[in-house]
Amino acid sequence: MTDIYLGADRATDAEAAAVDAALRSRGVDPVVRPETERLYTSGTARRRERRHFLLPALHALQNEAGWISPGGINYVAEVLDVPPAEAFGVATFYDLFRTEPPAHDGDTFHVCVDAACQIAGYDDLAASVRAAGGHVHLGPCLGQCERAPALFVQGAGGRPDHVPADDEPFELPQAGDESLRLLRRIGVADPESLESYLAHGGYRALRRAGEMGAEAVLEAVAASGLSGRGGAAFPTGVKWRAVAAETGRPKHVVANCDESEPGTFKDRIVMEQDPFAVIETMTIAGLATGAQNGWIYIRGEYPLATARLQGAIDAARAAGLLGKDAAGTGHDFDIAIWRGAGAYICGEETALFNSLEGFRGEPRNKPPFPTTHGLFGEPTAINNPETLLNVLDIILEGADAYRTRGTERSPGTKLLCLSGKVGRPGLYEVAFGTTLGDLLELAGGISGNGELQAVLMGGAAGSFVGPDSLGLPLTLEDTRAAGTTLGSGVVMAFDTSDDMTDVVVRIAEFFRNESCGQCVPCRVGAVRQHETLVQMQRRGSLSPARRALIDEMAEVMVDASICGLGHTAASAVRSALALGLIASAPSR
Amino acid sequence: MFGAGGGTSSYAEVEQADVILLWGSNAREAHPIFFHHVLKGLRNGARMYAIDPRRTSSAKFADRWLGLSVGTDIALANAMGREIIHAGLHDPDFIAHSTQGFEAYAAHVESYTLDWAAEQTGVPAEAIREMAHAYATAPKAQILWTLGITEHHNAVDNVVSLCNLALLTGHVGRWGSGLCPLRGQNNVQGGGDMGAIPNKFPGFQDVADDEVRAKFEAVYGTELNGVPGKHLTLMFEAMEAGELRACYVIGENPADSEADVEHARKLLAGLDILVVQDIFMTRTAEMADVVLPASVAWAESEGTVTSSERRVQRVRPAVPPPGQARHDIDIIGELARRLGVSWGHPSPEELWDEMRSLSPMHTGMSWERLEKSGGIQWPCVSEDDPGSEFLHGWLWADDLEGRDPAPFSVTHHAPPKERLSDEFPLRLTTGRALDSYNTGVQSGGYASPIRYGDALDINPADAAELGIADGERVLVSSPRGSVEMDVRLQPDIPAGLTFTTFHFPELVDANVLTNDEWDPRSGTAEFKAAAIRISKLEPEPAGA
Amino acid sequence: MTDTTITETAVTLTIDGQPVEVAEGSTIHSACVEAGIETPTLCWAENLTPVNVCRVCVVELEGSRALVPSCSRQAEEGMVVQTGTPRVRHSRRMVLEFLGSGVDLSQADDLHHWMKAYGADPDRYGDEDHPVERVEEPVKVQDELYIRDYSKCVLCYKCVEACGDDAQHTFAIAVAGRGFDARISTEFDVTLPDSACVYCGNCVGVCPTGALQFKTEYDLREVGEWRPEDQTVTRTVCSYCGVGCNLDLHVQDERIVKVTSPSDHSVTSGHLCIKGRFGWQYVHGE
- Mean pLDDT for all residues in chain C: 94
Residue B67: list chain A partners with CB under 8 A.
37-40
Lowest mean pLDDT among A105-109, A377-381, C86-90: A105-109
**CATH number of this structure's domain A500-578:** 1.20.1440.230
Instruction: Write down the H helix ranges in A290-384.
Output: 303-318, 349-356, 370-373
CA dihedral defined by A158, A160, A161, A164, rounded to 10 degrees? -130
Confidence label for C4 from pLDDT (cuts 50, 70 and 90): very low
Residue B240 Cα distances to B250, B273, B511, C17, angstroms:
21, 15, 19, 81
Residue whose C-alpha is closest to residue B53's, from B355, B351, B417, B492: B492
- DSSP class of B56: -
Distance CA C10, CA B368 (A): 33
pLDDT exceeds cutoff 90 at A196: yes
Which chain A residue has the Cα nearest residue C71? A365
**CATH number of this structure's domain A108-167:** 3.40.30.10
Tens-digit pLDDT profile for residues C52-73: 999 999 999 999 999 999 999 9
pLDDT exceeds cutoff 70 at A354: yes
Start-end of CATH 3.40.50.11540 domains in chain A: 194-402
SS3 A477: helix
The distance of B20 to chain A (nearest Cα, Å) reads 12
User: How many C-beta neighbours within 10 Å does residue B366 have?
Assistant: 16
Start-end of CATH 3.40.30.10 domains in chain A: 108-167
Cβ of B308 under 8 Å from any chain C Cβ? yes
Contact C179 A83 (CB under 8 A): no
> Which pLDDT belongs to residue A33?
59
Interface of B with C in 319-338 (CB under 8 A): 319-320, 322
**CATH number of this structure's domain A413-495:** 3.10.20.600
Which chain A residue has the Cα nearest residue C53? A519
For chains B and C, CB pairs below 8 A equal: 184
Residue C229 Cα distances to A9, A457, C225, C226, C253, angstroms:
47, 58, 11, 9, 11
Contact A38 B122 (CB under 8 A): yes
Interface partners of chain B (CB pairs < 8 Å, 3 or more) are A, C
Contact B42 A1 (CB under 8 A): yes
Which chain A residue has the Cα nearest residue B459? A37
Domain spanning C9-126, CATH class: alpha beta
- Helical pair A43-50 and B32-43, crossing angle rounded to 10 deg: 60
> Which pLDDT belongs to residue B540?
61
Mutate to test the interface with A, among B36, B58, B64, B114 (most CBs of A within 10 A): B64
> Which pLDDT belongs to residue C1?
39
Which architecture, in CATH terms, is A194-402? 3-Layer(aba) Sandwich (3.40)
Cβ of A178 under 8 Å from any chain B Cβ? no
Cβ of B407 under 8 Å from any chain A Cβ? no
User: How many C-beta neighbours within 10 Å does residue C41 have?
Assistant: 19
pLDDT exceeds cutoff 90 at A352: yes
CA dihedral defined by A301, A307, A313, A319, rounded to 10 degrees? -170
Q: Are strands B481-489 and C10-15 parallel, antiparallel or unpaired?
A: unpaired
pLDDT, mean of residues A163-170: 95
Cβ of A88 under 8 Å from any chain C Cβ? yes
Residue B124: list chain A partners with CB under 8 A.
35-36, 38-39
The distance of B431 to chain A (nearest Cα, Å) reads 18
What angle is formed at CA B266 by the lines to CA B264 and CA B271, rounded to 5 degrees? 100
CA B372 from chain center: how many Å? 30
User: How many C-beta neighbours within 10 Å does residue B116 have?
Assistant: 16
The distance of B224 to chain C (nearest Cα, Å) reads 30
Strand partners, B64: A41, B49
Cβ of A233 under 8 Å from any chain C Cβ? no
SS3 A411: strand
pLDDT exceeds cutoff 90 at A60: yes
Distance CA B410, CA A481 (A): 83
Residue B363 Cα distances to A405, B366, B368, B445, C24, angstroms:
83, 8, 13, 38, 37
> Which pLDDT belongs to residue B508?
74
Mean pLDDT for back-to-back runs of 10 residues, chain B (544 residues): 72 97 95 96 95 94 94 96 98 97 97 97 96 98 92 89 97 95 88 91 94 96 92 91 95 86 92 94 94 92 94 95 91 94 92 96 96 93 95 94 95 92 93 82 84 88 94 92 92 92 77 77 79 85 52
Decide if A384 contacts A451 (C-beta within 8 A): no
Give the count of alpha carbons within 13 A of A453, CB side only: 19
The amino acid at C60: E
Which among C52, C179, C186 has CB closest to A515? C179
pLDDT, mean of residues C250-263: 96
Contact A85 C54 (CB under 8 A): no
> Which pLDDT belongs to residue B248?
96
- Helical pair A70-80 and A13-24, crossing angle rounded to 10 deg: 40
SS3 A457: strand
Contact C133 A531 (CB under 8 A): yes
Which among B45, B47, B123 has CB closest to A38? B123
Distance CA B362, CA B376 (A): 9
Which chain C residue has the Cα nearest residue B436? C275
> Which pLDDT belongs to residue A530?
97
Tens-digit pLDDT profile for residues C81-108: 999 999 999 999 999 999 999 999 999 9
Cβ of B17 under 8 Å from any chain A Cβ? no
Strands across the sheet containing A293-298 = A334-339, A293-298, A252-257, A380-383
CA dihedral defined by A74, A77, A82, A88, rounded to 10 degrees? -40
Interface partners of chain A (CB pairs < 8 Å, 3 or more) are B, C
Interface of B with C in 73-132 (CB under 8 A): none
The distance of B57 to chain A (nearest Cα, Å) reads 7
**CATH number of this structure's domain C140-284:** 3.30.70.20
Residue C237: list chain B partners with CB under 8 A.
186, 298, 305, 307, 313-315
Which among A36, A45, A46 has CB closest to B124? A36
Residue B319: list chain C partners with CB under 8 A.
249, 251, 254-256, 283-284
Residue whose C-alpha is closest to residue A346's, from A367, A359, A324, A361: A361
Residue whose C-alpha is closest to residue A13's, from A89, A81, A92, A69: A69
Contact A46 B124 (CB under 8 A): no
Cβ of C95 under 8 Å from any chain A Cβ? yes
For chains A and B, CB pairs below 8 A equal: 61
The distance of C4 to chain B (nearest Cα, Å) reads 10
Give me the domains of chain B, ranges plus CATH numbers: 11-181 (3.40.228.10), 188-377 (3.40.50.740), 426-536 (2.40.40.20)
Tens-digit pLDDT profile for residues B307-325: 999 999 999 999 999 989 9
Which among C125, C169, C190 has CB closest to A1? C169
Q: DSSP for C28-94, please give it.
A: HHHHHHHTT-----SS--TTS-----S-TTEEEETT-SS-EETTTSBP-TT-EEESSSHHHHHHHHH
Query: What phi and psi, each to the nearest 5 degrees, are found at residue A492?
Result: -115, 120
Indicate the pTM of the whole model: 0.94
Cβ of C169 under 8 Å from any chain A Cβ? yes
Cβ of C167 under 8 Å from any chain A Cβ? no
Distance CA A464, CA A456 (A): 4
**Domain-by-domain residue ranges, chain C?**
9-126, 140-284
Interface of B with A in 122-141 (CB under 8 A): 122-124, 127
Distance CA A371, CA A386 (A): 19
Distance CA C206, CA C261 (A): 11
The distance of A92 to chain C (nearest Cα, Å) reads 5
Listed in sequence order, the residues at least 6 apart from A107 whose beta carbon sits closer than 8 Å to its beta carbon are A134, A135, A153, A154, A155, A156, A159, A162
CA dihedral defined by A142, A144, A150, A153, rounded to 10 degrees? -60
Tens-digit pLDDT profile for residues C173-223: 999 999 999 999 999 999 999 999 999 999 999 999 999 999 999 999 999
> Which pLDDT belongs to residue C2?
42
Altogether, the residues listed in chain A come to a count of: 588
Start-end of CATH 1.20.1440.230 domains in chain A: 500-578
Q: Are strands B376-377 and B473-478 parallel, antiparallel or unpaired?
A: unpaired
